[in-house]
A and B are shown apart, each in its own frame.
Chain A
């Protein structure tokens, strides 16, 4: 069975500092990987996705992630965060059945 582990429940960071949100997955088959962001009282917005090809994926709002098959990781990074990036971030995996399996989420708290 597939699973997703987000190692940090909360990540505090100062504005304009870099940030990395960690995500590890377990799967015995080829997977598709996603990062979603959720603002308070909102649904989920797709930040970026890895389906195949280049392991470095660029998304919206300056975020990027790197797929590492040997380490089964898909960490999300941003070189300089803004106050408006404060939100909950979810890593997700899907396989050929296409249903999304989500991690428990990481709350990014950007401080001025």
Chain B
């Protein structure tokens, strides 16, 4: 059974640009969550989607957005990138909301 797949693994962007990260959950999983990991702030919850609906949102500015498609794949978008957005972005999928979350290997975003 394939795990959670995040693409791309590494990304370098310039300040002011926008970026889209992709997450393919485990087959049959309908819940997808996103987390940001930085050395200073640690692991912080961004948002969670279930059946194409955003159910939960963390304390991040509106530049951070996401969506989920009918096949449960999810994307997150960050607009007007800032240096502080440099981080490892982790996606996790669950069969149902509240069940065990399986994490992908993450996308490491570097903003220069």
Contacts and interface: CB of A to CB of B under 8 A. Distances in A.
Nearest to A44: B103
A43 B105 contact: yes
Contacts of A96: 98
Interface in B30-56: 33, 35, 42-45, 48, 56
Tier of interface size on chain A: 20 to 34
Interface of B, secondary structure class, is strand
Contacts of B97: 98
A100 B105 contact: no
B25 interface: no
Given A45-B103, A98-B48, 12 more contacts: A43-B103, A43-B104, A44-B92, A44-B103, A46-B102, A97-B56, A98-B56, A100-B33, A100-B43, A100-B45, A100-B92, A103-B42
Interface of B: 4, 6, 33, 35, 42-45, 48, 56, 58, 90, 92, 97-98, 100-106
